[in-house]
Structure 1
Amino acid sequence: MNVAARYKIVDGHKFPRQGAFVFSPNHYSEIDPIVMGMVSWKLGRLPRFLAKASLFKLPVAGWLLTKSGQIPVQRGGSVRGSEPVKAARRLVERGQMVVVYPEGSLTRDPELWPMRGKSGAVRIALEQGIPIVPAAHWGTQQLMERYSKKLHLFPRKTILVKIGDPIDLAEFRGRNLDTATLNEATAVVMDAITALLEDLRNETAPAKRWNPSEHDQKETGRFEA
């Protein structure tokens, strides 16, 4: 990965060097976890990820995921499942970090802007009482395009990364973590990630964030205005 890309990290000093926290970047390429894992490593931390449980059944790869402390999540499930919750508690006890993509999957926004987020990242942060640190990166799509499995190793790419300030979730702490509260907190996180990406791209994101459920309903004729 060092041969394939150079990393220009802006505000790397905002990345916590110790203690437990949730690291939440944007997501638009299959290789993003490796890229942000490299960034975390370069900034002095060993990353942990929420990963599909099916990956842990693969020969060799599954063993590596388990031994490196990655967290299995059942497909179609959520971080509310018992194993992810227990794993999050262990992270806090050990002062480790976990990378959680708030979008849950690759963005479906045509221009690769962050889409509507899911509640996994904020739920862990709020339930465990740990910070959530937003980040954005740009340039990974030159290394591997969205939905592609092909790596473009040469010429060497430049990946821009910007680390944000820890997000203040104080107004949500102590509240019932119902759907409305989690969605509100998630929107705050997505706004922060989008602002960081705007800085990297020197562009302005669309006023309305891409909502996959709305577009799916439109495509199937089930959308009601």
Structure 2
Amino acid sequence: MFAFLASWVRPAMNAMMSKEWQGQERLPRGTGIIVCPNHVTEIDPIVVAHFLYNQDIMPHFMAKASLFKVPVIGSILRIIRQVPVERSSAGANRSLEAARDALADGGGIIIYPEGTLTRDPDMWPMKGRTGAARLALQTGAPVVPIAQWGAHEFFPRYAKRFYPFPRKRSRLLVGDPVDLSEFRGAPLTRTTLDAATDRILDAITELLAELRGEQAPAERWNPALQQQERLGREPRDVESRESRTREQGPGEAQPGAKP
């Protein structure tokens, strides 16, 4: 099923955007990995899945359990072995076991540490959630940071349509696995998980700064301090900024985008 879907998606992605991938040699081989990318547009999962599939790594996403109950979509998600995320204690244990099975098969579990599209006005990684760090410390799987940039020009954050012309370029940079050794074996307290999460986000931010050729902000954006809802679409300040950007026209790059 995944090969069938990829046979349609890969040619479409190649037609829509050129791609520049760097750092593939840093991907651990012969083991399952936790892949942690930055998140700037709704099509990021397709970009990252395309990259991993081309590296012969089966991509698995942590998806809301409710999606598995949707007719047809739920069946497809189960067949291609995506991982349902449930909120109950028993459900969380089932999710962890499903993730462990995917890792044992040598797949890549893709987790966005930010938990949703970044709320940062300039699209730098914002304050994260602890799910990726928790899974890494519970399983011992290596965490691979990835920065990607350019897909947001094709489909801007919170946009309602694509901007295919002129043809955009999707760029992706893989970093070395994040060193979490000092946290392994420690109790999974909030302090430990927050520190491990910050370590992961620091690695992603450093890669993104290299990819963009810009200096990252000294402090990470925190939605709570900005009176923003962490989840949901289009916080007011982000919405107004994105609306102004889209009014520039379909052929113009987003603020901060490297030509």
TM above 0.5: yes
Residue 115 (structure 2) pairs with residue 104 (structure 1): yes
**Contact 1:30 1:146 survives alignment (8 Å):** yes
Distance 1:148 1:217 in 2: 19
Residue identity in the other structure for 2:226: H
Structure 2 CA distance for aligned equivalents of residues 124 and 53 of structure 1: 17
CA contact (8 A) 1:30 1:149 kept: no
What is residue 205 of structure 2 aligned with on the other side? 194
User: Matched residues in 2 for 1:152 and 1:87: separation?
Assistant: 37
Q: Which SS does the other structure have where 2:199 is aligned?
A: helix
Q: Identify the residue that residue 136 of structure 1 maps to in structure 2.
A: 147
Between the aligned residues of both structures, percent identity stands at 45
Between Structure 1 and Structure 2, the one with more helix by share is 2
Q: Is the 8 A contact 1:7 1:159 kept in 2?
A: yes
Of stretches 27-36 and 55-64 in structure 1, the one that deviates more from structure 2 is 55-64
Structure 2 residue corresponding to 1:17, chosen from 10, 17, 29: 29
For residues 148-181 of structure 1, give each alpha carbon's deviation from its aligned partner in whole angstroms, at most 9, with x where no partner exists: 2422334321111000000111000010011000
Q: 1:27 aligns with which of 33, 39, 49?
A: 39
Asked if structure 2 preserves the Cα contact closer than 8 Å seen for 1:5 and 1:159, the reply is yes
Q: Tell me, which stretches of 5 or more residues in structure 1 are unaligned?
A: 220-225
Q: Secondary structure at the match of 2:170?
A: strand
1:11-35 deviation digits (Å, cap 9, x = unpaired)? 1111223311100000011110011
Q: Deviations over 1:163-222 (max 9, x none)?
A: 000011100001001100000000000000000000010001110100111112799xxx
Whichever residue aligns with residue 8 of structure 1, its letter is E
Runs of 4+ in 1 over 3 A off after TM superposition: none
- Show the counterpart of 2:52: 40
Corresponding residue to 1:181 among 192, 201, 219: 192
Q: What is the aligned partner in structure 2 of residue 168 from structure 1? A: 179
Alignment partner of 1:3 is 2:15: yes
The aligned amino acid for 2:21 is I
Change (3 A) 1:165 1:107: same
Distance 1:77 1:163, change over 3 A: farther
TM-score if structure 2 supplies the norm length? 0.79
Asked if the contact 2:130–2:197 (Cα under 8 Å) also holds between the matched residues in 1, the reply is yes
Is 88-97 or 207-216 further displaced after alignment? 88-97
For the residues of structure 1 that align with 2:35 and 2:88, how far apart are their CA atoms?
A: 20
Alignment check: 8 A CA contact 2:62 2:110 kept: yes
Secondary structure of the residue that 2:152 maps to in structure 1?
A: helix
Selected match of 2:101 from 87, 90, 94: 90
Structure 1: how far apart are the matches of 2:64 and 2:110? Answer: 13
Q: Do the aligned partners of 1:29 and 1:146 also contact (CA within 8 Å) in 2?
A: yes
The one-letter code of the counterpart of 1:72 is: P
C-alpha RMSD over aligned residues? 2.1
Q: 2:215: which partner in 1? A: 204
Shift in Å at residue 44 of structure 1? 1.9
CA drift of 1:93 comes to: 2.7
Aligned length: 218
